[in-house]
Amino acid sequence: MVNRYLSALILLLIPSLVQGPTNQNQPAQIGPGEIYKMSSPAVVLIETYGDNGKVSGSGSGFLVSVDGRILTNFHVIAHSKRATVRLANEDAYDTVEVIDVDKRKDIALIKIKAVNQPFVKLGHSSTAQIGDKLYTLGNPLGVFQNTLSDGILSGVRQMDGYKLFQLSAPISHGSSGSPVFNSSGDVIAIVEATLSEGQNLNFAVPIDYAAGMLGSTQTHSLESVYEPEEPNRVAESKPSSSDTRNTPNLQPASAPNPSEAIKADPLTYISTKIGVWTKEDAELELGLPIDRRDGVFNNAVAGDIYKYSIPYSGMGIIELNIYRNTKKLGAAYFYYRTVVSWEQVKKTLGKNYKKQKLANGRPGYLYQFGSRQVFVIVDSAESVFNVGVW
């Protein structure tokens, strides 16, 4: 998951020092549709597992050879001893091995036991120029597989012993390890981090750093590079033993007990819990969160947004905003693993909505049901990207 904020904050304070040399023989440019058509079969989803055997995180990667070698970020695989690679054609491989890693630059070369695989064309990051048009192709939130985004190369930032590209292309959690293409369809970087406190402050590792790893062939187990995850605020917010003693009905958060109602219709069920659920209540049915971020309203942190992975009704991810002043659920955001069209939603919710345009140009549709508001965001294909309820 994309979560290296400290490094990102530091690099924002350092001016861009390097700009690649001018290439007098520029290769032919192709459109984003052609880039997607050529490269999307080679982009993969990587799911990692915790000690409890459940999916604990997700990231992206891309095939670089016919025999199943894949480039991704080291942090995608670092905290897990087991992973599954899901291809664009929906084939899944549960045996994932490591060929080489560069921890400093956050690169990993992994392998699945596959043959005759499609693969991307690698370019040279040294030829990239600030202002160049770029495209990313990944799996935002581990749900929206093969999502194409565009932007420009905004800067080149000097880190401790290496450089990072700064991009304006939108990046979300789950996009770590995605390929970054130039306008010729060549991969010139690997998506590495996003700074959620800013606007379009996203970073990628230049592909030239990975080129030297491609000659390695010997494989090792994931466990050989395993690193325990550092304690974070999610872990610190688990119910304490005193909380459990004072609440006899509170079951362990690591053993969720979902109701039939949430399995049948998570959106409707959880909507009834707004203003009711505490974080501990949510964990009874959803288990422990897999991520946490600040909930910002009017430029101030007003809550904690916890992300949960659930497999009900075609859904992949639910995010719950627990307001800090009330300690209650204030809003919920639903992300779907299967495609849900805007037309389907309109048939369910009706046509009494107000159309709004988000800052990024994406259309949104606001419904008002008594004191409850529902906001639906769709992508360019009019598939539902997100449903928010508060």
Query: Which domains does the chain show, CATH number per domain?
Result: 5-225 (2.40.10.120), 233-389 (no CATH)
Would you say the C-alpha torsion 6, 8, 14, 19 has a positive or negative sign?
Answer: positive
Contact 120, 179 (CB under 8 A): yes
Rg (CA), the chain: 21
Q: What are phi and psi of 246, to 5 degrees?
A: -80, -10
Least confident of 34-48, 120-134, 236-250, 257-271: 236-250
384-389 and 372-378: which strand pairing?
A: antiparallel
pLDDT in tens, 54-80: 877 788 899 999 999 999 999 999 989
Distance between CA 276 and CA 294 in Å, rounded? 20
Distance between CA 70 and CA 81 in Å, rounded? 17
pTM: 0.56
Least confident of 35-49, 62-76, 123-137, 275-289: 275-289
Catalytic residues: 75, 106, 176
Distance between CA 308 and CA 276 in Å, rounded? 18
Tokens of 81: 């001893």
Tokens of 78: 């670092």
